[in-house]
């Protein structure tokens, strides 16, 4: 039973190698209207939804990103490829960071590289980050499998098989959660260090 459970968990972990993402070459070169953007994002990132009715991106979200200075305003109601790239970054960041922290990350990128004609631009940044993350997927999978195996060694004194499964599963979740907490803390410290003063706690905008 334990071996079967471990095999199922390893299969689940390895599934992240097949997770949907948006390759640089798939991002349209032409400007798009808001409806086209939400459709594009939903098509490419549909499998990342936890529940069927989850929203990847909505018109309200896009409007609020612009209203709250996360996203430069569109030109004649159309959004460029660079807008799309920023929206992709925002989508990933907002899953584990506050909107104010996302703003702290995105604004310097947008300010310095949005519509940059000379030198590095947002397309270059996305390609570089995308390729780096693809190279890291295998090592991330190996690290999670290592944590899984380590968690399977915990609570060895528990004789009841079902209870031990619950406990080792909890142990694995704790290991992953601690990893997330450490990385999130580092990200927040980087954001705070970059700013002139400690950011005040602001009310998070709704529907973002």
What is the C-alpha to C-alpha distance for residues 192 and 105, in angstroms, rounded to an integer? 10
Cα-Cα-Cα-Cα torsion 92, 63, 206, 203, nearest 10 degrees, comes to 90
Whether 118 shows a pLDDT value over 60: the answer reads: yes
pLDDT, the chain, mean: 90
Higher pLDDT, 94 or 15: 94
DSSP 8-state assignment for residue 58: -
Kindly state whether residue 171 falls inside one of the protein's structural domains.
yes
What is the C-alpha to C-alpha distance for residues 104 and 120, in angstroms, rounded to an integer? 20
Kindly state whether residue 151 falls inside one of the protein's structural domains.
yes
Confidence of residue 202 (pLDDT cuts 50, 70, 90): low
Confidence of residue 203 (pLDDT cuts 50, 70, 90): low
What per-residue confidence (pLDDT) applies to 197?
42
Report the percentage of the chain scoring pLDDT > 70: 92
Which residue in the block uniquely carries the two structure tokens 């584990």?
A: 96
What is the C-alpha to C-alpha distance for residues 71 and 181, in angstroms, rounded to an integer? 27
Kindly state whether residue 199 falls inside one of the protein's structural domains.
no
pTM for this model (two decimals)? 0.86
Kindly state whether residue 200 falls inside one of the protein's structural domains.
no
Whether 2 shows a pLDDT value over 70: the answer reads: no
Whether 145 shows a pLDDT value over 80: the answer reads: yes
Kindly state whether residue 205 falls inside one of the protein's structural domains.
no
Contact 33, 53 (CB under 8 A): no
What per-residue confidence (pLDDT) applies to 196?
40
Kindly state whether residue 208 falls inside one of the protein's structural domains.
no
What per-residue confidence (pLDDT) applies to 198?
46
What is the C-alpha to C-alpha distance for residues 35 and 32, in angstroms, rounded to an integer? 8
Kindly state whether residue 36 falls inside one of the protein's structural domains.
yes
- Per-residue pLDDT of 33-77, as tens digits, reads 999 999 999 999 988 888 988 989 999 999 999 999 999 999 999
What per-residue confidence (pLDDT) applies to 18?
79
What is the C-alpha to C-alpha distance for residues 110 and 114, in angstroms, rounded to an integer? 5
DSSP 8-state assignment for residue 104: H
User: Quick one: which of 72, 147, 73, 148 has its CA closest to 112?
Assistant: 72
Domain containing 25: what range?
Answer: 2-194
Kindly state whether residue 179 falls inside one of the protein's structural domains.
yes
- Total domain count, the chain: 1
Whether 110 shows a pLDDT value over 60: the answer reads: yes
């Amino acid at each position: 039973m334990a071996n079967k459970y471990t095999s199922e968990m390893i299969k689940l972990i390895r599934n992240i190698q097949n997770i949907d993402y948006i390759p640089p070459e798939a991002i349209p070169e032409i400007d798009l209207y808001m409806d086209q953007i939400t459709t594009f994002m939903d098509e490419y990132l549909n499998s990342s939804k936890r529940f069927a009715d989850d929203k990847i991106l909505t018109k309200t979200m896009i409007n609020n990103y612009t209203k709250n200075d996360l996203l430069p305003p569109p030109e004649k109601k159309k959004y460029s490829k660079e807008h799309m790239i920023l929206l992709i970054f925002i989508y990933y960041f907002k899953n584990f960071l506050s909107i104010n922290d996302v703003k702290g990350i995105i604004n310097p990128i947008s300010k310095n590289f949005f519509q940059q004609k000379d030198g590095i631009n947002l397309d270059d940044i996305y390609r570089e980050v995308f390729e780096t993350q693809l190279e890291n997927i295998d090592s991330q999978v190996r690290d999670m499998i290592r944590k899984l195996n380590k968690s399977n060694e915990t609570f060895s004194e528990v004789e009841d098989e079902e209870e031990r499964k619950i406990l080792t599963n909890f142990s694995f979740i704790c290991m992953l959660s601690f990893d997330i907490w450490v990385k999130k803390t580092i990200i927040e410290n980087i954001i705070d260090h970059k700013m002139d003063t400690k950011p005040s706690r602001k009310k998070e905008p709704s529907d973002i």
